[in-house]
Structure 1
Amino acid sequence: MTPKPEIPGTYVFGIEDCRRGFALNALCASLATPRNRMRFLADEAAYCDEFGLSADQRAALLDRDWKAMLDAGGSIFYVCKLAMVDGRSMQYLGGVFTHMTTEDFISALEAGGRRLG
């Protein structure tokens, strides 16, 4: 297996992450439909049980520990669907992942992006 590249200031999502995060990503993808969002919001823990999340994935999701979800194999594209259920934006997540406020993250984007190193 080829090691995952290290790119400073980024999170690299590779094939092993994809495999490890399948259940978490499937749950998040399911939130695209209104019926599933209602079921999820009615009992988040029971909804997690339907997808067979690992203990780490379940804890990260229920605690809304966004970084831990990525560490547990979550894809930002699917995790974002959960954030939307909570009324959070992609810019909010960008701020979380870069240790910035949402407003500072938006300002950085408007200024051409954040500078690494």
Structure 2
Amino acid sequence: MSKARDNYVLDVSAVRRGYALNRLCGSLTDPENRRRFLADEAAYCDEYGLSPEQKRAILERDWTAMMELGASIFYTVKLAMVDRKSLQDLGGVFTGMSTEEFIAAMRSGGRIYG
């Protein structure tokens, strides 16, 4: 898995780079698409034309790599929900904390870094 970073910039370049990745994740709001995805994740990735790096990130659930490859958290969370992961679970991943540590940080004012 990729190392946690301080931030992920979702600029025009990242949006272009992550278009297929975000489209795939967004498609998972449809129950039939979730069923098809879970039946054969690799084939579903191929349908959306993901790059090899994006496909690997999806299949390995490398959330940090997804961000680095242009994913938007607003779409990525749709994939996380397929795995019964919350936004707080992802927040922990992105900050290098456990989910519980991340939730505690948010409850104490949201200051994660020094």
Shorter chain as denominator, the TM-score bin is over 0.9
Runs of 4+ in structure 1 displaced over 6 angstroms?
none
Alignment of 1:88-103 (within 5 A): 88-103=85-100
2:16 to 11, 19, 22: 19
What does residue 67 of structure 1 align with? 64
Q: Distance in 1 between matches of 2:41 and 2:112?
A: 38
Partner of residue 55, structure 2: 58
Could you state the TM-score of these two structures normalised by the residue count of structure 1? 0.90
For 2:109, give the aligned amino acid: G
Q: How many residues align?
A: 110
Deviation at 1:19, TM superposition (A): 0.2
Query: Percent of aligned pairs with the same residue?
Result: 61
Matched, 1:76 2:60: no
Higher relative contact order (CA 8 A, sep 6+): 2
* Structure 2 alignment gaps of length 5 or more: none
Residue number among 80, 83, 87 corresponding to 2:84 in the alignment = 87
Gaps spanning 5+ residues in structure 1: where? 1-7
Alignment correspondent of 1:41: 38
Post-superposition offset of 1:103: 0.4
TM-score w.r.t. structure 2 length? 0.93
